[in-house]
A and B are shown apart, each in its own frame.
Chain A
């Protein structure tokens, strides 16, 4: 019976026969995707479990190292105040990142278009970059009345430089033959910018955005540490300092968890944005099927 079946269905089955063959790489790709999601989650849960177990097993007091369950509990009980602080930090971080993007792109474009502007302003950008923000923060806090504005400036200083330098490099990175082509077809400066320079700069800009996203959070937290601001309208860094003064270690960890989560969110967001923008053409974001 198997023999008759094969002979009978041979012509029809030819495409079908190749179909399962073709789905193998597809299935493998899906398994890969699931694994790349499952593995980190499993490992993270295992680490948290191990932590919980160690604290319980050695009976470590919670003012030394709180168990994850205690931290979670604190996150719930202190939720309202922590959430208000988290929101403050989120605002600070994203606002400074936004300003860094605006400032970095505008100044970067000026630098790329005009050599004299670059030569005269670049030293200032470098000074801002190489001076640790912790060292400048106290001065800024003295000179700027509004604490939020002062913190914003600090976070901005940290996040701004990578955007600036990558925008400059990116705008200059356009292929010289493509430049010639645009010249040949009498492109206006505006057309050249829009259709050649900006797309060429995008990979550089997106790479800078990934870095600057993380840096703006660091800047926001560091600045707040320096400011040592207390009171209602402050961010997660203030909660950490405050808890440290009061030896509320679980609360410290809870605030820390929120800072980390914010960092992870920024990381995921900038990576997602980069893939959205470059995914269809740039090497760095291409999904390779193998």
Chain B
């Protein structure tokens, strides 16, 4: 199911100032079509890792190689932040249009693509709504549509659903999986929820803090994308148990007062 390597991180470290080693010596190869979750307690460097991969932050040492895209995209990499991060003065439509606008694409050319992206996240009817008129889940959908409008190969998501209620979150988990499959996306999804990581991903990277690092990798063999009834199955519980155990072992190993 997974293809060629698309992101190769080789001994990547990121330091803030003298004392904080947010990412320490991280090596990881992500293949095309992987759905990877970074799972770990807060402060373990998950967001920093994403920002380094996206190029928003420079690495302190090490290299990150992303294989160049073959097709035409305005931005090969979509980023979804923990907050929806929408421009409050702009409608849903204008927010999704932004990446194309910044790429210099004319409104009439971009129009169909923006409309299509909004349709994919189920917000066709809300194109003219302002962010304040949308629910938390809908705002997140706009944010996802904005990330997808440039037709990226890679989607980075930083705890996107952490602030949402359980029902909305499950729904969005299904939709993200679906979108990832349809667009053949490679996804790195940051979360601190074991259940979310088990449901969504093909590979779980467990991260530990101080310094932030990869502590363990677990693969999930259950066919992907998963279905809603798998969420309530015994197999799901077993997988969640397995990941929780691994996470607990790394937290215990950190030997600090959690």
Asked if residues A178 and B87 are in contact (CB atoms below 8 Å), the reply is yes
Asked whether any CB of chain B lies closer than 8 Å to the CB of A117, the reply is no
Asked if residues A185 and B87 are in contact (CB atoms below 8 Å), the reply is no
State how many angstroms separate the Cβ of A171 from the closest Cβ of chain B: 15
Which residues 113-135 of A sit at the B interface, judged by CB distance below 8 A? none
Closest to A175 in B: B85
A283 CA to B79 CA, complexed, in Å: 27
Asked whether any CB of chain B lies closer than 8 Å to the CB of A184, the reply is yes
Of B61-69, B94-102, B227-235, the stretch lying at the interface with chain A is B94-102
- Judged by DSSP, the binding face of A is helix
Residues of B within 8 A of A184 (CB): 54-56, 75, 77, 79
Closest to A186 in B: B102
Contact A195/B101 with A181-B79, A184-B75, A280-B130 known, Cβ cut-off 8 Å:
yes
Which residues 160-202 of A sit at the B interface, judged by CB distance below 8 A? 175, 177-178, 180-187, 191, 195-196, 199, 202
Residues of A within 8 A of B83 (CB): 177
- Judged by DSSP, the binding face of B is loop
Residues of B within 8 A of A48 (CB): none
Contact A191/B102 with A177-B81, A184-B75, A281-B130 known, Cβ cut-off 8 Å:
yes
Asked if residues B89 and A181 are in contact (CB atoms below 8 Å), the reply is no
Asked whether any CB of chain B lies closer than 8 Å to the CB of A62, the reply is no
Asked whether any CB of chain A lies closer than 8 Å to the CB of B112, the reply is no
Taking beta carbons and an 8 Å cutoff, which residues of A are in contact with B?
A: 175, 177-178, 180-187, 191, 195-196, 199, 202, 280-282, 286
Ranked nearest first, the 10 interchain pairs of A and B with the lowest CB-CB distance are A177-B85, A185-B102, A281-B89, A177-B81, A199-B89, A185-B99, A187-B102, A281-B88, A180-B56, A281-B130
Q: List 19 A-B contacts (CB under 8 A).
A: A175-B85, A177-B85, A178-B87, A180-B56, A181-B81, A183-B56, A184-B54, A184-B75, A184-B77, A185-B102, A185-B103, A186-B75, A186-B103, A195-B98, A195-B101, A195-B102, A196-B87, A199-B89, A280-B89
